[in-house]
Amino acid sequence: MRCLDEHRVLLVGYVLQDEADHWWGNAKQRLGAGGAFI
């Protein structure tokens, strides 16, 4: 994909944030199911 570096940084930040949100949501479910406090 061709885009300005500034736009690329914004896109990567958005993608990483989305991935982190999914990971954290799954981690909370697993830890909560095991009785761990977050």
* pLDDT tens, residue by residue, 1-38: 688 988 999 999 999 999 999 999 998 888 887 666 65
Non-local (6+) Cβ contacts of 28 within 8 A are 38
What's the pTM value of the predicted model, to 2 decimals? 0.59
pLDDT of residue 38: 58
pLDDT of residue 19: 96
pLDDT of residue 35: 64
Q: Are 32 and 38 in contact (CB under 8 A)?
A: yes
d(C-alpha 17, C-alpha 19), whole Å: 5
